Structure 1
Amino acid sequence: MIKYVCKHCGHHLGLIDQAVVDEARLGFDSLTIEERESIISYESNGDIVANVVCEYCQEALEQNPELILLSNLLQ
């Protein structure tokens, strides 16, 4: 299973509920090692978590770039 979660606000954006998921079909194979480490994490049960940015946080960052310095955009 792959869960898509906003890395800033923690909002759950989506879920791919399949036992076996081809990471190449999702484009994960095109990420650099550094990108993989910052975007993809694994839960103890084997689920994959893709830490992405939701539309709300993206818009907030575009309008207020200094927010990137905060640990949580919704402070």
Structure 2
Amino acid sequence: MAIHYQCRHCRTKLGSLSDRAADSEQLGFHSLTEDEQHKMIRYDTKGDIHVDVICEDCEQTLAENPDYHQYESFLQ
């Protein structure tokens, strides 16, 4: 089981932790609200965890275009 991080906007793969080297508390998942966890974290049939975050490029775009925050994803 692994944990995979990808940008929720551009879908760029940002990194992975193999063999679940950390539990959800060590990763900070416990500090997310239930709604945030539901939106950001998915589990696949192999037991891998997929976490949607925002990459630096998309974060910069959001900073330059604050109105984009209203969209779940501003790239298609």
TM-score (norm 2): 0.83
d(CA) in 1 for partners of 2:73, 2:31:
28
Structure 1: any 5+ residue segments left out of the alignment?
Answer: none
Change in 2 beyond 3 A, CA 1:36/1:70 = closer
| Maintained 8 Å contact 2:7/2:55 | yes
CA RMSD of aligned residues (A): 1.9
Change in 2 beyond 3 A, CA 1:44/1:6 = same
TM-score (norm 1): 0.84
In the other structure, the counterpart of 1:54 is 55
Structure 2: any 5+ residue segments left out of the alignment?
Answer: none
d(CA) in 2 for partners of 1:33, 1:70:
20
Deviations 1:22-52, CA, capped at 9 Å, x for gaps:
1111111121111100111111211101100
Matched, 1:17 2:15: no
Percent of counterpart pairs with the same letter? Answer: 39
**What amino acid is the match of 2:55?**
C
Matches within 5 A, 1:21-32: 21-32=22-33
Q: Flag the structure with higher helix content.
A: 2
In the other structure, the counterpart of 1:4 is 5
d(CA) in 2 for partners of 1:70, 1:32:
19
- Say how many residue pairs are matched: 75
